[in-house]
Amino acid sequence: MLKPGILQRRLVGELIQRFEQKGLKIIALKIMHIDKSMAEIHYAEHRGKGFYEELAAYIVSGPVIAMILEAQEAISLVRRLIGSTNIHDALPGTIRGDFAAQTTLNIVHASDSKVSAEREMALFFKPEEIYDWEDGNAQWF
Ligand code: CMP
């Protein structure tokens, strides 16, 4: 998920390009607004932590771009492309390393396990919004 601010900063194309050029296959993509109840579900594991209120306020503060990306080992691949959650550990060349300066405002979110990916896909997408197209170029990635 590309978090609030990416549209205002005109970064959507640049960020999607990084996933595409790596070879990830986009099978769902939309602009959406995350409301308070969706934010509470999405960030339930962080409730009670010191940064929770700021995090929840940020994610509802503007439109986001939600995507489902497919690849072999997609979760670890995407997490390496986006960089560390802690912004001080996010290396240059990663999305967070290049475009974010604060951990709470860390510009992108990615599922950290198969279980969270399943939960987040179901939270943000209806089945008919997912399009698993035939990839004639899969052999090259
Ligand atoms: P995200 O991948 O969206 O998942 C949880 C979010 O909580 C994370 O990105 C950060 O934005 C935020 N977060 C996690 N740890 C901290 C922290 N120590 N301080 C501030 N924000 C944090």
Q: In the predicted model, is pLDDT for residue 120 greater than 90?
A: yes
pTM over 0.75: yes
* Domain around 111: 4-129
Phi and psi torsions of 27, nearest 5°:
-115, -5
Render pLDDT for 56-81 as a digit per residue (tens, 0 to 9).
Answer: 999 999 999 999 999 999 999 999 99
| Average pLDDT estimate for 77-90 | 97
- Quick check: is 134 in a domain? no
- Quick check: is 141 in a domain? no
**Residues 65, 6: contact at Cβ < 8 Å?**
yes
Render pLDDT for 5-61 as a digit per residue (tens, 0 to 9).
Answer: 999 999 999 999 999 999 999 999 999 999 999 999 999 999 999 999 999 999 999
**Residues 77, 21: contact at Cβ < 8 Å?**
no
How many other C-beta atoms are found inside a 10 Å radius of the C-beta of residue 11? 18
- Catalytic, 42? Answer no
The CATH number given to whatever domain includes residue 93 is: 3.30.70.141
Residues 6+ positions from 7 with CB-CB distance below 8 Å: 31, 62, 63, 65
- Quick check: is 113 in a domain? yes
Number of domains the chain contains: 1
> Ligand 1: which of 58, 85, 87, 105 to mutate, most ligand atoms within 8 Å of CB?
85
- Quick check: is 140 in a domain? no
Please state the atom number of ligand 1 nearest to the C-alpha of residue 105. Answer: 11
Please state the atom number of ligand 1 nearest to the C-alpha of residue 43. Answer: 5
- Quick check: is 136 in a domain? no
Q: Which residues contact ligand 1 via a Cβ below 6 A?
A: 46, 51, 55, 85, 103-104, 106, 109
**Residues 26, 85: contact at Cβ < 8 Å?**
no
